[in-house]
């Protein structure tokens, strides 16, 4: 069902921007004693967005554009918007469980969550470099304030500051790269970039264009936590309020990959394919091993998840490395890599929130994020322990969970590049084992070690329902992925221009 007609490309953006404003107004007119209404309003907004994204948009329709190509709505954009809408809903649900710990300013907190979400919706369908920069900054700015939201805690301020300073550096890279791209092509739109490359007829593009691309990719690499732009990740993950960390983990990564995919589908062609594949293979190698090896010695859950998210960025980069040398079924492999990225992002969103929800509930009850304090959680609260275990195993890529299927798709797409992708395939396989090790270390604490403090941790009914729903979603995505794979695959094939 298409409920917005020609305005479909701005449907969700408009709704969420208006919703954000509405939340601020509700906050203004609500007395201090009734502040939970603010969360309810925010929840209502994200619920509407969720429904509109999943049931109010055509996935397989024609590509629609608005504002002279500034906004593009294609299958890839729809898939990403659905992922973002899901993440936004979960972020608000998590924030509601967290907001008692906020000194004040719930309205602002929810406003910023929604403005970040607006930015993500925009990011998924931008059609030119200028809109890309504005929407990317909308996401970054919202997150920087959210990370520093608990100003009374030095860690939180540090997280915000790191995000701001390094985020500005990344923004500078993106802008500088944009300038180079404009200089090389005389056009700011992705379509213009594509036309320019097509006019080269397979000849290598000029150096300023390549440098522009590299700078933009490095700037986006900051958002996705790619080595060598990953330094902010652990500190920010640890310092930011937990719902923000979860939303940042999912949203920033997915937003960054949305743009990287947009850029790569635009520029991938006979002249650039080999060098892009080489670049992404190298980046995937470095990111995979850095993230997963550095996660092993961690003792803080949020830091552990931070490093592991770098590792997950490495897996996602494998999908880009599947561009493949031209001699094999290149377009299909490239499209299957992009489809795998889309699917993985959705699975990763659900899994990450599953894990962080437990982290939020646990630290609300005990005030700790240390892994050692998770000892014996299965005796204190079987539900929390089981939910976290399922989420961790999904992150590790164990069947029958969503994360397994995502990793399987990524490795498969690399395998389709033949001997050229063989090294990366082995690296991916090795990292699955490393990942499994450190996730199991946390599972071991929860199930094997005796509790230090045996007091039970009660879970309220709605929270339990949410945990069950997330677990069910992970199982469904893992066992019955067909419909989602079809959506992702069609979107990716359309983006790469592969028929059939």
For another protein, the binding residues in 48-67 under the rule CB under 8 A are 66-67
Q: How far is the CB of 467 from another protein (least distance, A)?
A: 13
Binding-site size for another protein (CB under 8 A) equals 82
Site map 272..311 versus another protein, x via CB under 8 A = ----------------------------------------
Backbone angles phi, psi at 65, to 5 degrees: -130, 155
- Nearer to another protein by Cβ, of 51 and 472: the residue is 472
- Nearer to another protein by Cβ, of 1 and 175: the residue is 175
- Nearer to another protein by Cβ, of 1 and 132: the residue is 132
Answer yes or no whether residue 72 interacts with another protein by CB under 8 A.
Answer: no
Site for another protein in 7-36 (CB under 8 A): 17, 24
Site for another protein in 353-382 (CB under 8 A): 378, 382
Answer yes or no whether residue 101 interacts with another protein by CB under 8 A.
Answer: no
Q: How far is the CB of 17 from another protein (least distance, A)?
A: 6
Answer yes or no whether residue 486 interacts with another protein by CB under 8 A.
Answer: yes
Q: Is 250 exposed, middle or buried (0-12, 13-18, 19+ CB in 10 A)?
A: buried
Site map 133..152 versus another protein, x via CB under 8 A = xxx-xx--xx-xx--xxxxx
Site for another protein in 205-224 (CB under 8 A): 206-208, 210-211, 214
Q: Please identify which residue in 288, 294, 432, 495 interacts with another protein, judged by CB under 8 A.
A: 432
Answer yes or no whether residue 469 interacts with another protein by CB under 8 A.
Answer: no
Q: Is the four-CA dihedral 469, 475, 481, 485 of positive or negative sign? A: positive
HSE, CB side, 13 Å, CA atoms: give it for residue 248: 36
Residue 57 near residue 477 (C-beta atoms within 8 A) = no
Q: Which two tokens stand for residue 248?
A: 């940042």
CA distances (Å), origin 322, targets 91, 190, 334? 31, 21, 5
Site for another protein in 157-176 (CB under 8 A): none
Q: How far is the CB of 351 from another protein (least distance, A)?
A: 15
- Nearer to another protein by Cβ, of 86 and 394: the residue is 394
Residue 380 near residue 456 (C-beta atoms within 8 A) = yes
Q: Please identify which residue in 372, 448, 453, 460 interacts with another protein, judged by CB under 8 A.
A: 448
Part in contact with another protein (CB under 8 A); list of ranges 45-53, 247-255, 345-353, 398-406: 398-406
Answer yes or no whether residue 461 interacts with another protein by CB under 8 A.
Answer: no
């Amino acid at each position: 069902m298409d409920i917005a007609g020609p305005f479909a490309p701005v449907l969700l953006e408009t709704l969420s921007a208006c919703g954000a404003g509405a939340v601020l107004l509700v906050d203004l007119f609500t007395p201090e004693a009734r502040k939970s209404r603010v969360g309810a309003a925010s929840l209502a907004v994200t619920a509407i967005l969720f429904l509109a994204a999943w049931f109010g948009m055509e996935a397989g329709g024609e590509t629609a554009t608005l504002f002279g190509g500034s906004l593009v709505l294609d299958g890839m954009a729809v898939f990403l918007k659905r992922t973002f809408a899901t993440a936004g809903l979960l972020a608000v649900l998590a924030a509601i469980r967290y907001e008692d710990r906020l000194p004040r300013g719930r309205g602002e907190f929810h406003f910023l969550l929604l403005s970040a979400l607006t930015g993500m919706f925009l990011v998924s369908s931008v059609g030119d470099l200028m809109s890309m920069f504005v929407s990317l900054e909308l996401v970054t700015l919202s997150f920087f304030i959210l990370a520093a939201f608990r100003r009374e805690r030095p860690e939180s301020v540090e997280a915000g500051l790191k995000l701001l300073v390094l985020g500005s550096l990344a923004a500078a890279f993106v802008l500088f790269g944009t300038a180079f791209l404009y200089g090389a092509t005389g056009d700011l739109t992705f379509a213009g970039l594509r036309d320019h490359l097509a006019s080269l007829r397979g000849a290598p593009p000029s150096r300023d264009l390549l440098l522009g691309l590299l700078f933009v990719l490095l700037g986006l690499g900051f958002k996705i936590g790619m080595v060598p732009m990953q330094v902010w990740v652990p500190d920010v993950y640890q310092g930011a309020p937990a719902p923000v960390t979860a939303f940042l983990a999912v949203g920033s990564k997915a937003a960054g990959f949305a743009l990287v995919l947009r850029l790569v589908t635009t520029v991938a062609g006979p002249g650039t394919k080999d060098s892009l594949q080489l670049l992404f293979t190298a980046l995937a190698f470095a990111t995979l091993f850095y993230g997963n090896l550095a996660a092993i010695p961690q003792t803080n859950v949020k830091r552990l998840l931070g490093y592991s998210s770098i590792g997950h960025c490495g897996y996602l980069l494998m999908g880009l490395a599947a561009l493949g040398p031209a001699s094999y079924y290149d377009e299909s492999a490239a499209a299957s890599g992009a489809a795998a990225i889309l699917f993985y992002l959705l699975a990763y969103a659900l899994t990450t929130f599953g894990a962080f929800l437990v982290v939020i509930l646990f630290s609300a009850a005990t005030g700790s994020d240390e892994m050692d304090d998770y000892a014996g959680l299965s005796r204190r609260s079987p539900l929390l322990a089981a939910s976290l275990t399922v989420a961790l195993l999904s992150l590790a890529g164990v069947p029958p969970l969503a994360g397994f299927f995502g990793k399987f798709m990524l490795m498969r797409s690399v395998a389709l590049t033949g001997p050229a992708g063989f090294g990366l395939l082995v690296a991916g396989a090795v990292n699955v084992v490393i990942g499994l090790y450190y996730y199991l270390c946390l599972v071991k604490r929860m199930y094997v070690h005796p509790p230090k403090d045996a007091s039970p941790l009660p879970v309220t009914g709605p929270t339990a329902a949410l945990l069950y729903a997330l677990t069910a979603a992970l199982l469904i995505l893992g066992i019955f992925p067909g419909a989602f794979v079809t959506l992702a695959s069609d979107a990716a094939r359309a983006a790469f221009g592969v028929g059939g």
